Amino acid sequence: MNMTTATASEPLLRDIYRLIPDLEALYKDIHAHPELSMQETRTATLAADWLRRAGYEVTTGVGKTGVVGLLHNGEGPTVMLRADMDALPIEEATGLSYASQQTVPDAEGKLVPVGHMCGHDMHVAWLAGAATLFAQAREAWRGTLMVVFQPGEETAQGAKAMIDDHLLARFPRPAVVLGQHVMLGAAGEIAGSAGPITSAADSLQIRLFGRGAHGSMPQASVDPVVMAAATVLRLQTVVSREVAATEAAVVTIGALQAGTKENVIPDEAIIKLNVRTFDAAVRKRVLAAIERIVNAEADASGAPRRPEIIPLDRYPLNVNDEWASQRIADAFRAHFSPARVHHSGPAPASEDFGCFGTAWEVPSVFWFVGGTDTETYAKAKATGTLNELPVNHSPQFAPVIHPTLETGVEALVVAALAWLA
């Protein structure tokens, strides 16, 4: 199988370097014009136009802004390739000549800066490139290629929105669903593994109720600031004291908001937190512990009302099919060489990519492509300073274009050919 896949990829990839300048231009254009989740109209138009020029049947507006392209090429399986399109409400600080200067209203109407600080612009360019190469070398494969440009990954809305918009009824059932993500790692290298690959994630908003008063008369208050502070500190014990060392969980407090003036004790406080887990039982136990601690701290403070615990979004556990993962790993090693393909284990990042395979009840495989300058990464690894490098969602996160762009396009082609060759 290795020899067949390596040989089959050659005619498909022979023109990749002619395509790279156009893909780089597309990447820089999308990077400079990012769009928030479920608002990706410009990006979706660029993707749809690219697919039409390549000869795909194109359907737009799937799940609001999603794009689906189909390329039929004789008898054979259907393979789905997916890329997400949305950016983040983060002000970019990369200093790049094509850095985003965009500021737009978010879903609540608040004006926010927007930046592609998670690499979804690279994902769009990768998929556009792979789609084009398959269209230009139809003699090298058989079957149907389905390419999906998905909205709203950052808010866990997009995959569900496309599925709810009758994706399964409108398009052919794939034999496998494939996707990838640019991450911290040496550019040109690929990592992945069978089994859990990205974590389940739950985001919660906790509203704590107190009784406001003048800052000079705290005895007349029930101080929600103190209540929130005690809650935040106690929540740190969930992982350290309630999750076994052999298990994994992350509890992160991302926001604590209360009050507007230094001499006014407010009526309420808001805590926003995020939970990452790799096991359903651990997830259940962690969420129960959070609820128990929040209510107990409110009781201890004499709160006039029980706290409100509101789910914000949820990502499912993303599990790579074992057989399909091995098939792709073999293909990657044959094409890239074993030195460039690594076993990663699960990552604490979260993705809604797995929703597609689950909905269709077919295998899915997700992997990572390094986007860090190779010399920078090697130096940081040698000095033990990898944690100081910009990661996804950092204002400084910016993959090096080359060889990240080429590697991602090649990886999608090689992986799809493991079924279509």
For the chain, percent helix, then strand, then coil, each to nearest 5? 40, 25, 30
- Of 370, 324, 366, residue with least CA distance to 178: 366
Please report, for the chain, how many H helices and E strands are present, in that order: 13, 18
Using an 8 Å Cβ cutoff, are 240 and 304 in contact? Answer: no
Confirm whether 406 is a catalytic residue. no
Using an 8 Å Cβ cutoff, are 283 and 309 in contact? Answer: no
Write b or e for each residue in 300-325: b if 16 or more Cβ atoms lie within 10 A of its Cβ, otherwise e.
ebebeeebebeeebbbbbbbbbeebb
Other Cβ atoms less than 10 A from the Cβ of 153: the count is: 24
Write b or e for each residue in 85-109: b if 16 or more Cβ atoms lie within 10 A of its Cβ, otherwise e.
bbbbbbbbebeeebbbebeeeeeee
Catalytic residue (choose from 35, 84, 153, 352): 84
Parallel/antiparallel/unpaired status of strands 213-214 and 195-198: unpaired
Confirm whether 154 is a catalytic residue. yes
Taking the C-alpha atoms of residue 289 and residue 204, their distance in angstroms, rounded to an integer, is 13
Taking the C-alpha atoms of residue 90 and residue 98, their distance in angstroms, rounded to an integer, is 16
Catalytic residue (choose from 40, 86, 154, 352): 154
Question: Is 181 labeled as ligand-binding?
Answer: yes
- Lookup: tokens for 336: 């890239």
- Of 415, 394, 350, 418, residue with least CA distance to 126: 415
Taking the C-alpha atoms of residue 164 and residue 143, their distance in angstroms, rounded to an integer, is 26
> In which residue are the tokens 């929600």 written?
224
Other Cβ atoms less than 10 A from the Cβ of 169: the count is: 6
Question: Is 355 labeled as ligand-binding?
Answer: no
In 230-288, DSSP assigns E strands to: 249-258, 264-265, 268-277
Task: List, in sequence order, the alpha helices (H) in 337-373.
Answer: 354-360
**Which amino acid, one-letter code, is at 401?**
I
- Annotated active-site positions, please? 84, 154
Q: Which residues are annotated as a binding site?
A: 118, 120, 154, 181
Q: Which residues are annotated as a binding site for Mn(2+)?
A: 118, 120, 154, 181
